[in-house]
Amino acid sequence: MARYQLFLTTTLLTTGIAFGATGDWPTYGHDKGGMRFSTLADITAANVTNLEVAWTYHMRPEVPAAATPMAARRAARFLAGQATPLVVDGRMYVSTPYSQVVALDPVTGEKLWAYTVPESGRPSLRGVEYWPGDGSAAARIVFGTRDGRLIALDAGTGVPAAGFGDNGVVDMTYPGTAQDRGPPFGMTSPPVVWRDLVITGSATQEYPPLGNPGDVRAWDIRTGELRWTFHSVPRPGEPGYDTWESGSADRRSGVNVWGFITVDDERGIAYLPFGAPAYDRYGGDRKGDNLYGTSLVAVDAATGAYRWHFQVVHHDIWDNDLQAPPLLFDMEVDGSAVPAVAVTSKNSLVFVLDRITGKPLHPIEERVVPTSDVPGEVTSPTQPFPVATPPLARTGFDLQRDLATLTVEHTQWCRDWIMQNEMRAGGLYVPFGFNRTTIAFPGFQGGNNWGGAALDPGLGYLFINTSDLGQVISLVAATGDGPLPVTLGPVNARFQQPDTRLPCQQPPWGQLSAVDTATGKVAWQTTLGVSDALPEDIRGTGRPNVGGPIATAGGLVFIGATDDSRFRAFDSRTGAELWTVDLPASAHATPITYRGADGRQYVTVIATGGSFINSPVTSDAIITFALP
């Protein structure tokens, strides 16, 4: 225990990522480097089972008395939310799916103010960012909207921030290109603030291939003025342009950061996790490795200047986007702390790199992978694989060995479905078949998704939740005048029985893993979630999940994420499930923990259901727990 505390203290002092040692949760990942580790230790393995609901806030606004019947019905619906609240200086800030950003009292849940995005806009799904202010301006809450606006509010009052853009609003859309670029364009995740800059990604189209660029940009936090732009798809003369077949980079959409940017605060380096190019199922019109698609790129946070990159998937046709926050930490190597960044994605692989140089800290090798039979497609002959860390989720399927056998009815349905559609077994980097249906693992939801990872810097354990939810897909020749010669085939579905939502392969269907960053080895792995549709004695299957974990100095990992409407705490050393509570809906969000003004440690999670794994949307609750 003494060694743990010594290394923890040293790490927090030297990490360079502005780790907050207070009881606040001031940014999405707790610190700018996305470690999601809290030094609070009041809640422990010994008392976590005593947690109880301290307060609940319902995000859905009251229906105005003068509302029309149609407006009243619309307002009565539950909407899916994925936000992680922030807690700073005695206030909680959170975006809601009901077009609002609200400030709450984190001890009582009382609403302090609410801002409604004008013109039927909606704030980013996953939360907001905080700027502490300085002598020239008060503290601000900043966030993007789904329709391409960047909004700054006074953190104290919730009114638009004076001097920022036009009455607190900056138009982020690309001017003069409405017909060429067109919608959609906006933000689904919060930006990150570094000093006086707001660094933003964007949500762009996946199809058609040409449209809005996925550039990362930085804006002045006081004025909203654009300060720099990093071209996610290189322009002529820029490094990486030659990784695209001649002309195929021009006006290319996708290659965007729809997830989370992290920053080495002390060194001034921003880490940008880019998604796949559009179209992300076929790349015959964009031959080459396609930088910076599905790549981690490090840039100078002050200027946007390129520093290094690591491409996780060459010529991505599997929608393997990077989107999880690149996690910055100091890794213990021969007794010394080495600055590191951990990269996780939908492919279920984990890469650990030197965050200053981009060089691997654990070995990586290029391995030969299958080639595509789709006309016009030229896949990369190799892909990078970590040597020390195995895939954390299923990467293949064999009909004879892997078909689910939990109930007779489910097994028969899955077998009939597979045989009737003549499905072939696929796996990691097996290209989708042409005129033949492929069972792809991991599926489009991962693996790991935008929830990313958390890290206990004392243990050196990286905590990662993964799903085993395959995708059934094929490509066929397109008809008509579409932009590509191929389109999706008639069978395009999750590899599961639709009514029961039970996957067709043997469990586990969802897991939580701890990776020892010192060695790259898996320290422990446990199932995450239960299948309520099964008999009680075989429900411990794990479940598909979207959302992320957090870790605490109390030796706990908290996580919702699963589609079974539960919230859980695990022992960070062993993986033992210590506490489980039922929720009114699934919590497809990352929780937080903080210390209230009354001195108590609280844990908060948003539970609405929804997300791309289609769990029922049955709640609008922000739920906060504490010890009695």
pLDDT at 135 over 90: no
CB 51 within 8 A of CB 582: no
Mean pLDDT of 271-282: 98
Strands in 387-501 per DSSP E: 424-425, 438-440, 453-456, 461-467, 471-473, 475-477, 486-488, 493-494, 496-497
Reduced to 3 states (helix: H, G, I; strand: E, B; else coil), residue 238 is: coil
Encode 149-178 in three state secondary structure. Answer: EEEEEECCCCCECCCCCECCEEECCCCCCC
Q: Give the integer Cα–Cα distance in Å for 326 and 337.
A: 18
The predicted-structure confidence for 75-130, as pLDDT tens digits, reads as follows: 779 999 999 999 999 999 999 999 999 999 999 999 999 999 998 789 999 999 99
Hey, what domains does the chain have and what are their CATH numbers?
2-626 (2.140.10.10)
Q: Which pLDDT belongs to residue 177? A: 42
State yes or no: pLDDT of 574 exceeds 90: yes
The yes-or-no verdict on residue 5 having pLDDT over 60 is: no
406, 391 contact by CB (below 8 A)? no
What are φ and ψ of residue 401, in 5° steps? -100, -30
Q: Tokens standing for 342? A: 């951990």
Cα–Cα distance between 358 and 350 in angstroms, integer?
14
**How confident is the model at residue 12, as a pLDDT?**
52
Q: How far apart are CA 429 and CA 121, in angstroms?
A: 38
Q: What is the mean pLDDT of residues 335-343?
A: 94
Which of helix, strand or coil describes residue 390?
Answer: coil
Q: Residue 104 is inside which H or E element, if any?
A: strand 100-104
- CA dihedral in degrees (530, 126, 132, 597; nearest 10)? -40
> Rounded mean pLDDT of 241-263?
96
Residues 6+ away with beta carbon under 8 Å from 336: none
- Of 175-184, 433-442, 569-578, where does mean pLDDT reach its minimum? 175-184
Residue 591 pLDDT greater than 60, yes or no: yes
Helix (H) / strand (E) containing 96: none
CA distances from 192 to 196, 219, 514 (A): 11, 11, 27
pLDDT value for 69? 75
In contact, 350 and 515? CB cutoff 8 Å: yes
**CA–CA separation, 566 and 302 (whole Å):** 42
Instruction: Give the pLDDT confidence of 522-543 residue by residue, as tens digits.
Output: 999 999 999 999 999 999 999 9
Indicate the pLDDT class of residue 175, thresholds 50, 70 and 90. low
The amino acid at residue 131 is: W
DSSP 99: S
| Residue 579 phi, psi (nearest 5) | -150, 135
Helix, strand or coil, per DSSP, at residue 215:
coil
* 17 neighbors 265 (Cβ within 8 angstroms): yes
Beta bridge partners of 579: 569
CA distances from 396 to 329, 399, 546 (A): 31, 10, 21
Query: Which pLDDT band, with edges at 50, 70 and 90, does 157 fall under?
Result: very high
Which residues on adjacent β-strands are paired with residue 483?
none
* Predicted model pTM: 0.96
| 3 exposure class (CB count in 10 Å sphere: 0-12, 13-18, 19+) | exposed
76 vs 70: CA distance, rounded Å: 10
